[in-house]
Amino acid sequence: MTIYDIAKMAGVSASSVSRVINDKPGVNPETRRKIKTLLEDNNYVPNEIARGLVSRNSRMVGVLVPEGYSLHLMEGAYHITGRLSEVNYGTIILKTGCSEAECAEGIRSIEERNVDAVVLMGSRYANDKVARAVQHFMPKKPVFLLNGEMAGANVYSVISDECGGLSACVKFLVQKGRKHIVYISDAMDRPSSFQKRQGFLQGVRETGIYKDMADTRRFMYEGLNNDIDSGERIMEQALLEHPDTDGLICATDMLACGAVRVLHRKGIRIPEQIAVIGVDNSSFADACYPRLTSLNNMILESGDEIASKLIASLEGHEPKANRIMLLTEIVERETT
Amino acid sequence: MTIYDIAKMAGVSASSVSRVINDKPGVNPETRRKIKTLLEDNNYVPNEIARGLVSRNSRMVGVLVPEGYSLHLMEGAYHITGRLSEVNYGTIILKTGCSEAECAEGIRSIEERNVDAVVLMGSRYANDKVARAVQHFMPKKPVFLLNGEMAGANVYSVISDECGGLSACVKFLVQKGRKHIVYISDAMDRPSSFQKRQGFLQGVRETGIYKDMADTRRFMYEGLNNDIDSGERIMEQALLEHPDTDGLICATDMLACGAVRVLHRKGIRIPEQIAVIGVDNSSFADACYPRLTSLNNMILESGDEIASKLIASLEGHEPKANRIMLLTEIVERETT
DNA sequence: TTGTACGCGTTATCAG
DNA sequence: CTGATAACGCGTACAA
């Protein structure tokens, strides 16, 4: 059902139908009414695609999400989708592989869809290959990067101070009198993980709980996956090597859930014997027993910030700043 | 950068460029090479939108997800997105309101995007208004409904036997010697919730643990939201009214997480004093302490089934059956 | 107030 | 092997 079909039925030209559809003036009220009912009766739906071809904008935003179990990130994407839906923008979600090449390919791939703007979910996209792909394939299109930094005049980054946050976590535990703090990192293949690690190191340095880097290293563990099982396995290992652990910082809430489980099993009281902090402030922090104290790294808030900037940008108001940093904060619950 | 630009640079016609782009025969190898490098050098990306205009298909699938905190559903959508990405199909996610009218409006809205097929995530879409919208706006387009049934020759439903599953949960607990089983329902505004409720009633009837409907009703509670807090509040209430409760079935894992928290607080041993079963078999079942026994209602598997059928359908193989039911199963962990 | 003609970027058809 | 032309569905000058 096209405007031509309707036009034929109404005995008018397609232009008139177009005018009616878009509420433009210059149509006889009588004709307008006639066309309108015809439109209704035939369940006519305009083809936004064809529209976009002529108006040169598609009312679509591309959102790239890396594959793998990063439910929290997906929650953020979902949130952005909601905001865009409100202003009648569609969201094309593209799940990309995790390698730099696959991420870059995602840029090319989404460009095919002629989207008006692009959102990159997560620090995984913050690398040179992706930056080059952006400059190649969409040098003028607004690109928003969540939780990472990227060069480019058209790239807007919203990052969260995870480094400072992790450092604050260490200080927080030290203030509570903890002396033997273990850090369980998530898989180190993203800038975000690196930032968190740096933050932990900084916190250790500033509080002076360990005497040197070599000493500190002994208290740092790395998970392969960011899931509960992984947290469990590492905690077992950590307790074996450091029976006197009295503080624990996990790079994700999921890892913390696993770690907490081990503590329960061993009859270790939380937080009396070991205090625990996670990162993400996700639903898992709430599902954990006891409720998990967690560093809010502002993923959802960043998404919201991006959505706002995105919508403004789509309406012609270019963001003034290319980089925004959201400060993190510790949300204290029952494990500290 | 269009094929015309490239054509001009190569000193050929757009047709030849098109042939090269689509790997079609009938181009002089020499010319082909020349065009190919030109394409590369200029970072040419074909406009899938314009392509779709002529080929009358957009290589896009619309996925409707209801707003509200249904993380598990979103996980399913994410999964489908991944499957579609593999075969180079884009996914347009549209978050719709929860009312029937808003759901139906979603159908119209997604049709504007000219998608090749539509997926409706969740039983919320299984209502007459949506069914009518489908028949109005996309009577010939393949529509897949997850966890619900809908009339229409072009509608394919993948439902899970939640009714049978809930009934099985009751029997499962009764077999373990439980006599006072409480049921905490999620918000009753979806067919799925109704199914689960029916299943509980059926289980009660078949095991004969309660003498009549009025008696049974006393053990049934309803949550306003499907979150942890809600589970907590209801459990408090239930324990007050039924101190002798020895079995608990929660309509979602989230509710169960909240309920379990209350049991911990009151020093009630799980599963010795009260056995607990959730529904969804989600990450929250794993995050719960103790690990939550949960009815796998096959949301993820349904999504996978839909993805397969969808891809096949897009390639011209229409599904043979309009309705498929996936049987649910209890995944036993530590709370029973 | 209405209709004609053209362009958006691409593919397909057909003639050369 | 190559190129001109029409068509996809719509919006928009411009002409009537």
pLDDT in tens, B276-304: 999 999 999 999 999 999 999 999 999 99
Mean pLDDT, residues A244-258 taken together: 97
Nearest to A71 among B90, B264, B283 (CB): B283
Whether residues B108 and A45 touch (CB distance < 8 A) is answered with yes
d(CA A219, CA A204): 11
Confidence bin at A208 (pLDDT 50/70/90): very high
Give dist(CA A335, CA B2) in Å, integer. 59
Average confidence (pLDDT) over A102-107: 96
Q: Which strands form B181-185's sheet, in the order they lie side by side?
A: B220-222, B181-185, B247-250, B275-279, B293-296, B329-331
Ranking B71-75, B224-228, B253-257 by mean pLDDT, the lowest is B71-75
Instruction: Round to whole Å and give the CA distance between A161 and B61.
Output: 37
Within 8 A of A45 by CB-CB distance, chain B residues are: 108, 111-112, 137
On average, the pLDDT of chain A sits at 95
Neighbouring C-beta atoms of residue A28, cutoff 10 Å = 11
**A6 closest-nt by C1' vs CA:** D9
Q: Which nucleotides of D are covered by protein (CB under 7 A)?
A: 1-5, 7-13
Alpha-carbon gap, residue B333 to A81, rounded angstroms: 35
Look-up of token digits 């939201």: B225
For chain B, the first-to-last Cα distance in angstroms comes to: 63
For B286, which residue in chain A has the nearest alpha carbon? A228
The predicted structure's pLDDT at residue A70:
74
Closest Cβ opposite residue B93 in set A45, A52, A91 = A91
N-term to C-term CA, chain A = 63
* Distance in Å, residue B81 CA to nucleotide D7 C1': 32
| pLDDT one-digit tens code per residue, B102-154 | 999 999 999 999 999 999 999 999 999 999 999 999 999 999 999 999 999 99
- β pairing state of A90-96 and B90-96: antiparallel
| pLDDT higher than 70, residue A311 | yes
pLDDT at residue number B69: 64
Yes or no, beta carbons of B45 and A108 under 8 Å apart: yes
Residue-range domains of chain A with CATH: 3-46 (1.10.260.40), 58-160+299-328 (3.40.50.2300), 162-296 (3.40.50.2300)
Each residue's pLDDT tens digit, B166-216: 999 999 999 999 999 999 999 998 999 999 999 999 999 999 999 999 999
Give the CA-to-C1' distance from A129 to C13 in angstroms: 41
Residue B20, pLDDT > 90, answer: yes
Rounded to an integer, the average pLDDT of A46-57 is 90
A-chain residues within 8 Å CB-CB of B288? 287, 289
CB-CB neighbours of A236 under 10 Å: 15
Q: How would you classify residue B18: left for phi > 0, otherwise alpha for psi between -120 and 50, otherwise beta?
A: alpha
User: What backbone phi and psi angles, to 5 degrees, belong to A206?
Assistant: -70, -30
Interface test with B, best of A21, A67, A85 (most B CBs within 10 A): A85
Chain A residues lying within 8 Å of B47, measured CB to CB: 112, 114
Residue B94 contacts by C-beta under 8 Å, 6 or more apart in sequence? A81, A85, A90, A91, B62, B63, B64, B65, B106, B109, B110
Q: Residue B76: in which H helix or E strand, if any?
A: helix B71-86
Res B269 pLDDT > 80? yes
Phi/psi class of residue B313: alpha, beta or left (left: φ > 0; alpha: ψ in -120 to 50)?
alpha
Tokens of A184: 């369980």
Q: Which amino acid is at A330?
A: I
Q: How far is the CA of A61 from the C1' of D2 (A)?
A: 39
Question: Is A54's CB less than 7 Å from nucleic acid strand C?
Answer: yes
Q: Are strands A181-185 and A220-222 parallel, antiparallel or unpaired?
A: parallel
CA of A17 to C1' of D11 (A): 11
If one counts every other C-beta atom within 10 angstroms of the C-beta of residue A122, the result is: 25
Mean pLDDT over A176-194 rounds to 95
How much is the pLDDT for A69? 64
Residue of chain A nearest B134, judged by CA positions: A43
Give the pLDDT confidence score for residue B224 in this predicted structure: 87
Interatomic separation, CA of residue B47 and C1' of nucleotide C16, rounded (Å): 29
Would you state the structure tokens that stand for residue B330, as one six-digit string?
Answer: 């209890």
**Residue among B95, B264, B283 minimizing CB distance to A82:** B95
Residue owning tokens 């979806």: B190
Query: Mind listing the pLDDT tens digit for each residue in B72-115?
Result: 888 899 899 999 998 989 999 999 999 999 999 999 999 999 99
The arithmetic mean of pLDDT across residues A19-28, rounded, is 93
The residue type found at B199 is: G
Q: Cα(A180)–Cα(A148) distance, rounded to whole angstroms?
A: 31
Smallest CA–C1' separation from A53, nucleotide? C8
Sheet holding B60-66, edge to edge: A323-326, A155-160, A143-146, A117-121, A60-66, A90-96, B90-96, B60-66, B117-121, B143-146, B155-160, B323-326
Contact B257 A287 (CB under 8 A): yes
Cβ separation of A137 and B286 shorter than 8 Å? no
In the 8-state DSSP scheme, what is residue B124?
G
At residue B74, the pLDDT reads 86
Identify the pLDDT of residue B139.
93
Task: Give me the sign of the Cα torsion angle A23, A28, A31, A33.
Answer: positive
The pLDDT assigned to B191 comes to 95
* pLDDT single digits (tens) B45-62: 999 999 999 988 899 999
Residue B122, C-beta contacts closer than 8 angstroms, at least 6 positions apart: B65, B66, B70, B73, B146, B147, B148, B190, B192
Question: Who among B95, B113, B260 is closest to A85 (CB)?
Answer: B95
d(CA A114, C1' C16) / Å: 36
- Report the C-alpha gap between B156 and B119 in whole angstroms: 9
CB A326 within 8 A of CB A279: no
pLDDT category at A7 given cuts 50, 70, 90 is: very high
**What whole-number distance in Å separates Cα of residue A107 and Cα of residue B268?**
53
Residue B56 burial (C-beta neighbours within 10 Å; 0-12, 13-18, 19+): exposed
* Angle (nearest 5°) at CA A62 between A59 and A68: 155
> Mutate which of B53, B115, B257, B283 to test chain A, going by most A C-beta atoms within 10 A?
B283
pTM over 0.95: no
* Tokens at B252, concatenated: 């979602």
In chain B, residues with a C-beta closer than 8 Å to the C-beta of A89 are none
Asked if residue A230 has pLDDT above 70, the reply is yes
Residues 43-72 of B with CB under 7 A from strand C: 46-47, 50-51, 53-55
Structure tokens at A197: 């690690």
Distances, alpha carbon B231 to alpha carbons B122, B124, B252, in Å: 21, 21, 9
- Name the protein residue, with chain letter, whose CA is nearest the C1' of D3: B13
Helix axes B191-207, B162-175, angle to 10 degrees: 40
What does the mean pLDDT of chain B come to?
A: 95
Contact A91 B88 (CB under 8 A): no
What pLDDT is recorded for position B109? 93
Tell how far CA B141 is from the center of its chain.
19
Distances (CA, A) of A332 to A186, B164, B206: 21, 42, 47
B18 touches strand C (CB under 7 A): yes
The pLDDT, as a whole number, for residue B259 is: 98
